[in-house]
Amino acid sequence: MNRKPLNYIAIKVALYLSIFIAQANAQGLPKEFNIKEDDIVLGNVNSEVVLIEYYAPTCGPCANADRNIFPVIKEKYIDTGKIAYVMREFVGNKQDLDASLLARCEGSTAKYIQFKSLILSKQDDWAFGTDYRQRLESFAKLGGVSKEQYETCLNSDALVKTLIENTQIAANLHNFIGTPSFFINGKLLDVRQGITANSLSYEIDKILQRGVKNDM
C-alpha cells in the first residue's frame, strides 16, 4: 500500500487550513461582516469594500432604497467590480419569511434580484392583506417558479435556517436600529440622518481612495 508520509499529510492539512482561514478573513472584518457561504453577493467578492444591506420585504423604506439607491450603487460600484454588495434578509413576521423564501427559491443570484425588486415594488399589492400567500404565489408564477416549487421552498429547513440566522446576526448587533441598514466594512451608516445614494457613495469612495493612496 502506498502511504503518504505523515509530514506530507500534515503540511497539506496546514496548507488547506491556512487557505480557509485567509479566505474567511480576507477583509479583516468582524465575523458578523465576513461574507458567508449562503450570502447573496454581487460585485467583487475580493474587494476591500464589503457593503451589507439588511432589508425586510414588508419594510416601506426598503422599497425606497431598492428603487432609488440600489440602481446607482450597482452602476457605479457593483458592475465595475469595485465592491462586494451583500444582501441579507431581516425577518420580522410571516410575510417577510414567505417573501424571502420566494426570493431564494430558484437559487440563482439573478432571480433573487428580480424577485427582491418585484416584492418590494409591489408591497401594497401583497404585504398587508390576508391573501398575501396567494399574491406571492402569483409573483412566483411570473418569475418562473411553480406553485409546487414554492411550496417546497416554504418547507425547506435549510432556507428557513439561513433567514433566521441572518435575522439573528442583525438583532444581536448593539447598534442595529432596523431596516434598511447599511454596513460598510462593519460600520453602520446612521439611517436616522437619511441614507442616499450620494451618502453611500461618499463612504465607499473614502475607502477606495485610501486604498489607492496606500498602493502608491
pLDDT tens digit at each of 216 positions of the chain: 444 444 433 443 343 334 333 443 444 567 889 999 999 999 999 999 999 999 999 999 999 999 999 999 999 999 999 999 999 999 999 999 999 999 999 999 999 999 999 999 999 999 999 999 999 999 999 999 999 999 999 999 999 999 999 999 999 998 898 999 999 999 998 665 678 999 999 999 999 998 654 554
Cα–Cα distances in Å, from 38 out to 7, 11, 89?
A: 34, 29, 12
Instruction: Please report, as a single letter, which amino acid is at residue 203.
Output: E
pLDDT at 31: 84
DSSP 54-71: EE-TT-HHHHHHHHHTHH
Quote the CA–CA distance of 95 and 105 in Å, as a whole number. 15
The residue assigned the cell 454581487 is 42
Show the CA angle centred on residue 24, arms to residues 21 and 27, nearest 5°: 115
As given in the structure block, the three cell numbers for residue 118 are: 418585484
181-184 vs 50-55, strand pairing mode: antiparallel
Tell whether the torsion through CA atoms of 207, 193, 186 and 81 is positive or negative: negative
pTM confidence score: 0.83
Q: What is the pLDDT of residue 11?
A: 43
Q: The C-alpha cell of 186 is what?
A: 462593519
Q: Could you tell me where the DSSP H helices lie in the chain?
A: 6-24, 60-68, 70-73, 94-105, 109-121, 123-126, 132-142, 147-154, 157-171, 197-215
At 96 the pLDDT is: 98
Quick one: fold of 30-204?
A: Glutaredoxin (3.40.30)
pLDDT (0 to 100) of residue 23 = 43
Write out the three cell numbers for 196.
Answer: 442616499
Q: Coil, helix or strand for 181?
A: strand
Give the whole-angstrom CA distance, residue 80 versus residue 78: 5
